[in-house]
A = this chain, B = another copy of it.
Amino acid sequence: MTAVQELAARAAGAPEPTVAGIRASISPVLERIAGTARAREDLRDYAFDEVRELAGHGIGVVGIARGEGGAGGSVRDVADLVVELARADSNIAQALRPTYLMANQIASRPDLPHRDANLARLRSGALFAGTGNERNGGASGSVSTVARRVDGGYRVTGRKYYSTGGLYASYFSSQAVTDDGTIVRFTVPADRPGVERLDDFDAVGQRLTQSGSTVLTDLWVGDDEATVTGEEQPDNPWGGSFAQLYLAAVQAGIAARALDDAVWFVREKARPIKHSSAASSVDDPYVRQTVGEIGAKARAARAVVLVAAESLQDLRGVTGDAVRRAGADAAIGVAEAATVAIESALTATELLFDVGGGSITDRGLGFDRHWRNARTAANHNPRQWKSAVAGAYHLTGEEPPTTGLF
């Protein structure tokens, strides 16, 4: 029975998914993904089959209540799962980010527009892509993609950047502006005519996140697929915190992978330097210490992510002034956690090379990609500004930016 069949079976009355069950099911898939990540980067070969399998096993419904057909679990469970996904392949973890942003909105906002439709899609193993609120338009934040009003819907034309996970996705979300300036948000099948997904993302790391462009040409968007954004501000304007936490979880996964690869290399490949006190690298005192330091960095990154996830969980159901205060607190917590996770991942991936000599720099191993991945994921927005905004909040209570970029 394939993963998709399993999901279908479950939908048809099979036992409900659980977080533990899903993690057990995907474990061999993650092992395969981990084993091919290096080669796939080099060949620019996307893991279409494996990602479909992950979706089929229900990874998209972790964090969705069991009563709604989800696997249950908290924001912390989601974050912990993302760490594991990123440990296997941080590119795939990031490519799944829009899917988890959708799932998080479903789980946290009972009033989310089109909630039922998107929940059903998640339950059937769909994946999402799209440029969410937080990445919608350059320095000025303006939207230039045009939505032309037509009977029963819109025709949308424009070009979107950073459509993370686009080639994996079954649905694509984005936004456009009508001629009277109204912002229209929409989610449509990714294979609908008028949606062209380009594989044009080329950074020094996270190269297979499919964060390329999407060209929209006279794309049909039905009224039932669209939401017109009003003026109202949510009680907690820092909804972007989850998206930032997600990136921190990716960093924690990269650090965990650095530990895995360090252990593997020392066990299987390394030889001690001539003047070492040890005959075997596993006994070299500095190799041992370095491995322990990498372990500590991985642990620090994961711990800050998990604890910050709890603060996002605690926001659920709180409203009004209370959630505004708690939301700002949580946003600051996520920002500080992110700086820790970034620093931990950068250090862990640098230290990885200190467990070996020249041979660990072999391109065949491709261990540099961990640092490149961490460095690229860290560049979504500057960590120094994260610290600065956090400091201002501690000092004066000044609220953090609500742009989603913080």
Contact = CB atoms under 8 A, between A and B. Distances in A.
Nearest to A376: B361
Interface size class of A (residues with CB under 8 A): 35 or more
Given A204-B368, A290-B384, A382-B273, A394 B295 contact: yes
Interface string A359-379: 011111011100110011011
A346 B347 CA distance: 10
Interface in A261-288: 262-263, 266-267, 271, 273-277, 282, 285-288
B299 A384 contact: no
A395 interface: yes
A339 interface: yes
A43 to B, nearest CB: 16
A405 interface: yes
A273 B404 CA distance: 12
A204 B385 contact: no
B346 A296 contact: no
Number of copies: 4
A371 B379 CA distance: 16
Interface string A288-300: 1111110111011
Interface of A: 139, 141, 162, 202-205, 207, 259, 262-263, 266-267, 271, 273-277, 282, 285-293, 295-297, 299-300, 302-304, 306-308, 332-333, 335-337, 339-340, 346, 350, 353-354, 356-358, 360-364, 366-368, 371-372, 375-376, 378-392, 394-396, 401, 403, 405-406
